[in-house]
Amino acid sequence: MHERQLERLKRFEGGVFGIGDSWPRSYLVGGAGAKLKLSVVDWEFAGMISPLIDLSQLCAHLYLLCQTSSPKVKSRAKMYTLAMLRAHYTHTPGWHYEIGYRADAWMLFGREIIINTIEMDWWHGDEVKKQADMKAFGAYGAKIVKEAKQRGSISGPLFEDVFEAL
């Protein structure tokens, strides 16, 4: 995936400006309703990237947040994520959702689940839960990576089935 993305970006074929390391703490959200404001606070890896990369990274973090949070937080995060995914699909140019980009997005989603399961403390010191979850999350991320090409061929909002099943 990475080599294919680099080749496209060298030709500016399908590149978009993105954050490049998208996760919940990269953003500040303020206001409400019509006065809702979004700010990006982490520009370290910003630049030209393939479409759907930021969305994939953010959704992997939100998936892990849903899996490790209280029922109240999980419900809100799930509702937010599904609304975001559907709005993104509806309002993003169609070429962003071409099969190759979709497959790349699914692969990155799975990889980010694996990486962030290892790198971040989702368990607040609960080692027993951490060990049980790490194995399950790693296996799920690996399954997504293996299925990326097939999942990429299915149209509609990305990751919708994952979050609906939570």
pLDDT of residue 50: 87
Tens of pLDDT, residue by residue over 79-113, are 999 999 999 999 999 999 999 999 999 999 999 99
The boundaries of the domain holding residue 8 are 2-164
Tokens of 73: 């937080």
Tally of structural domains, the chain: 1
In angstroms, the Cα distances linking 97 to 85, 91, 138 are: 12, 11, 26
CATH of the domain at 48: 3.90.1200.10
Render pLDDT for 30-59 as a digit per residue (tens, 0 to 9): 888 888 888 899 889 988 888 899 999 999
Q: Across the chain, what does the average pLDDT equal? A: 91
- CA dist 69 and 7 (Å) reads 39
Q: How far, in Å, CA of 62 to CA of 73, rounded?
A: 11
The Cα–Cα gap between 99 and 151 comes to 9
